[in-house]
Amino acid sequence: MTTVQITLPDELARDTAEAGLLEPQAFANLLRKQLRAKAAGNLVALHEKAATDEDFSPEAMAEEVRAMRAGRRPIQKAS
In a domain, 23, yes or no: no
In a domain, 28, yes or no: no
Q: What is the pLDDT of residues 20-59, one digit of tens each?
A: 999 999 999 999 999 888 888 887 887 787 788 777 777 8
In a domain, 24, yes or no: no
The amino acid at residue 63 is E
Range of the domain at 45: 35-68
In a domain, 13, yes or no: no
Give exposure, 24-59, as e/b (b: 16+ Cβ within 10 Å).
eeeeeeeeeeeeeeeeeeeeeebeeeeeeeeeeeee
In a domain, 14, yes or no: no
In a domain, 76, yes or no: no
Place 72 in a pLDDT band, splitting at 50, 70 and 90: low
In a domain, 20, yes or no: no
Overall domain count for the chain: 1
In a domain, 74, yes or no: no
pTM higher than the cut 0.75? no
